[in-house]
Amino acid sequence: MSLSALTTSDFWVRIADRAWDKLSGEEGLTMLLIWCTVLVAGIVTYLKITPEARSVRGFISHVFPREIFTNRYARVDFLFWLSRKLVLPIFVVPLIFSTVTAGHAMYWLLSQLLGAPTHAPGQAGPFVLCLFTLTMLLAYDLSYYIYHYAQHKVPMLWELHKVHHSAEIMIGVTKDRVHPLDELMNHWWDGVIPGLCYGVWLFFVLDPVEVTVFGLNVYLLRNVILMMDFVRHTHLKLSYGRTLDAVFLSPHYHQLHHSSQEPHLDKNFGLALSIWDRMFGTLVHPKPNESFVFGLTHDEHLEYQTVYRLHVLPLQKMARRVQAAARRQLNRRRARSAALPPSAPASESNA
């Protein structure tokens, strides 16, 4: 049906169908889980900081504080989030060459080294599937930690990651304040370690068909864990308590990671688990109900407060780094050339 033939009622029916598609199925479940985690986090933190004189209005003000959601920086985050929705579909094809590709590469390598797999086809038992799920989640979490650490330590990656850390307030969708190029590389990297783990399981234990089916469940579980990623990019200072915080990285720990204060820089890199930060010495415990100043050091975050600059400025700064490195290399070559003794004239060398 052409656009000109569409009646007003047909138009709204199509809009309603598209909205229902978004609200049903996996996307609808994801949205429901996000708002459930926000609700639970809001209730827990509200009860903690408001021992008495509680009210529905007070709870709503706690979860949606006017000073944050009417802030002009909040509008930038919302607009940047919308721009990502327009840009990211371009990366759908590149993103598929990730976990599955790495998994089948590992499967092929093991087949070349050890011969064809010997396990009989068929479904694995519940214990094996649970162990598979656990190892895949651990692999993904370790992969996230490694790349996040590199984003802070490798200058070119840091220029891209500054987009995320330039946020001065946290409003949930701040989790998606990520440069498109950074997003693409992050997804590629996140497929490597889980993909290699997937390939090992594929070769030694699991049948390819059942892995495909169960692999969806693994990533559904991963998405459930990532529901907390929305909460940890809010103002809600949710902690799991001392016992659980020893294993899991609660939202308050990640909010410390966004702090621009010196003791908090380059700390708490983990996603779901705190064990990697503890293992590699990057874990810092926030004080109960501690508040943080978000942004970049030396007020550099002030340079990133428009959608245009969030997209373009990192590329400009990366180009400047490349130019500076090229100049340094040229200067070193000139210095070495100047230090060499002058060559003898051809007539003297032939005498």
Residue 138 domain flag: yes
Terminal CA-to-CA distance of the chain, rounded, Å?
93
Over residues 99-143, the pLDDT tens digits come to 667 777 777 788 878 777 766 655 666 777 778 878 888 888 898
Query: Contact, 273 vs 282, CB < 8 A?
Result: no
Q: Which domain holds residue 60?
A: 26-314
Mean pLDDT lowest among 123-132, 228-237, 268-277: 123-132
Residue 20 domain flag: no
Domain count of the fold of the chain: 1
Query: Contact, 255 vs 292, CB < 8 A?
Result: yes
Secondary structure (3-state) at 196: helix
Whether residue 281 has pLDDT greater than 60: yes
Whether residue 290 has pLDDT greater than 80: yes
Q: How confident is the model at residue 320 (pLDDT cuts 50, 70, 90)?
A: very high
Average pLDDT of the chain is 80
Q: Which residue has the higher pLDDT, 71 or 142?
A: 142
What per-residue confidence (pLDDT) applies to 189? 83
Q: What phi, psi does 273 have (nearest 5°)? A: -110, 145
Residue 333 domain flag: no
Mean pLDDT lowest among 94-103, 193-202, 290-299, 332-341: 94-103
Residue 2 domain flag: no
Residue 305 domain flag: yes
Residue 322 domain flag: no
Rounded to whole angstroms, the Cα distance separating 164 from 175 reads 8
Rounded to whole angstroms, the Cα distance separating 299 from 291 reads 18
Mean pLDDT lowest among 102-106, 241-245, 279-283, 304-308: 102-106
Residue 11 domain flag: no
Calculate mean pLDDT across residues 240-249.
89
Query: Contact, 117 vs 205, CB < 8 A?
Result: no
Quick one: 259 exposed, middle or buried, by C-beta within 10 A (0-12, 13-18, 19+)? Answer: buried
Residue type (1 letter), 90: I
Residue 199 domain flag: yes
